[in-house]
Amino acid sequence: MKARRASTYTLHVLRHPGGVGSFTDWAAFKKDFWAEFFPIDPAKSATLVLRNREQYGQGKQMLDKYIDSFRALVEQAAYPDGLQLCLTFRDGLHPALMEHIDNLAEGHSDDEQIASWYKVAWDQWQLMEIRQELR
């Protein structure tokens, strides 16, 4: 949950004419809260995030955080292992890391095994950090 969204929601509730009292009971608040912060279909939402190449990717975050968030989305989306999943992961990598992996002559990842991609990405990330190529 994003802090900004939670803050906006809280302000909305508190500024509402009835404030917190506008909810008839705990169940009414809980229903409103869940509707605001939890999607109806989490698998579909996770899939849409994974497929949105313009908004989702490693960016400037550390590789381990990207892999962790990617794994969580894959789990939530029930996305099957295979070429499409590996390409989705690859396309989200830091551009320098993606290029480094694409140029490997040996030790390239298996194109259909996501675990292989995680390992190769991690190995190459560490090598690039040592060489200070990630600035």
Predicted confidence band at 33 (pLDDT cuts at 50, 70, 90)?
confident
DSSP at 113: -
Within 8 A by CB and 6+ apart from 124, the residues are: 97, 100, 101, 104
CA distance 121 to 109: 9
> What is the Cα–Cα distance from 87 to 134, expressed in whole angstroms?
21
Going by C-beta distance under 8 Å and a sequence separation of 6 or more, which residues neighbour residue 73? 46, 49, 50, 79
Between residues 47 and 29, the one the model is more confident about:
47
Q: What is the pLDDT of residues 50-62, one digit of tens each?
A: 888 777 899 889 9
